[in-house]
Amino acid sequence: PATDASGTVKATMDAVFDHFTDMKLPAPVRISMACCLNMCGAVHCSDIAILGVHRKP
């Protein structure tokens, strides 16, 4: 599964990867991830949107 991405992307893909590869979902699903609400991650046209928050490490 996910190896070269941010933490939220890795966690999400690790959780849903089997569902996508085995096509166990009842319909096509769009999952988007963005760091803000500026819609750069297609948050406005997705079925599931995950928003991250910028902060100091």
Residue 9 pLDDT exceeds 70: yes
pTM for the full model?
A: 0.56
Is residue 57, in this structure, part of any structural domain at all?
A: no
Whether residue 32 lies inside any domain: the answer is yes
| Exposure b/e, 15-48, CB count within 10 A at least 16 = b | ebeeeeeeeeeeeeeebbbbeeeeeebebeeeee
Q: How large is the average pLDDT for residues 22-37?
A: 77
Domain assignment present for 56? no
Confidence band of 2 (pLDDT split at 50, 70, 90): very low
- Span 5-19, average pLDDT: 80
Does residue 1 sit within a domain?
Answer: no
Total number of domains constituting the chain: 1
The range of the structural domain enclosing residue 43 comes to: 7-51
* Average pLDDT taken over every residue of the chain: 74
